[in-house]
Amino acid sequence: MLKSLLSVENLNAYYNKAHILQDVSFQVNEAERVAILGRNGMGKSTLLKSILGLEKIRRDGDVFFDGRNVIDMQTFKTANLGVAYVPQGWQLFPSLSVEEHIEMAYNPHTSDDEWTPASVYELFPEIEARRKVSGTKLSGGEQQMLAIGRALVRNPRLILMDEPSEGISTFVIERVIEVCKHMAERNVSLLLVEQNLDVALRATEKVYILVNGRMVYEASAKDFKADKESQNKYLGV
């Protein structure tokens, strides 16, 4: 049976008086890959930040992670429950090397599914070759790999990934799509935010669409792929 891992119920989010997310509800099940699609400025990044309580976002509603309501929880506590984040633009540190980013994030884990620095380097040999280099001196694609690797070694149960296809080559995009599938096979769920329809359809199984902070559409990736009318209506493609 499908078990819900993340359940967002009537989530509202505000920057000061600006009401950005409006009664947003959706779910991510265990080992499921879900995409939130929407044009620029629709509230996708705000949604991921609201789940973690990042920045100065005021939020109300309920966000259940593994049965616990995290809506009033501090970011590090929610993260420690098993939620990792790959931010838009990667947010790496110039003063830390590749290796230091990975070591700092590594959270040893007892199960067979453990992600270690070694298994991340195996997944992304490109960054292993650059272990001593500053995180921000890497190419865009390498920074994306490091940001994903940094999330995986936390051994999370859910990864929130914000527009991973932005600013990287088509070759690295293919790698990212493969990694998304691979991590779901290893029981890590994915909540992916994307503007790139093709990437979302290939990397996930289920899609939701945000328009002006409201969830307006929900379908399997397969059904949405065939639904050209909704693609045009909501995404203008």
Ligand X SMILES: Nc1ncnc2c1ncn2[C@@H]1O[C@H](COP(=O)(O)OP(=O)(O)O)[C@@H](O)[C@H]1O
List of residues contacting ligand X (CB under 6 A): 15, 18, 20, 38, 40-46, 55
Closest CB to Mg ion: residue number:
45
231 binds, among Mg ion, ligand X, none (CB under 5 to 8 A by kind): none
For residue 121, give both structure tokens: 């380097």
155 touches Mg ion (CB under 5 A)? no
Q: Identify the DSSP state of 135.
A: G
Rounded distance between C-alpha atoms, residue 225 and residue 79, angstroms: 33
- 45 is a site residue for Mg ion (CB under 5 A): yes
Q: Which does 1 bind (CB under 5 to 8 A by kind): ligand X, Mg ion, none?
A: none
CA 206 to chain centre: 14
20 binds, among ligand X, Mg ion, none (CB under 5 to 8 A by kind): ligand X
CA distances from 11 to 24, 51, 74, 125, 149 (A): 5, 9, 17, 39, 29
Q: How far is the CB of 41 from Mg ion (least distance, A)?
A: 8
Question: Candidates 37-45, 136-144, 152-160, 165-173 — which segment interacts with Mg ion by CB under 5 A?
Answer: 37-45
Q: CB under 8 Å to 55, separation ≥6 — which residues?
A: 49
Q: Minimum Å distance from CB 209 to ligand X? A: 11
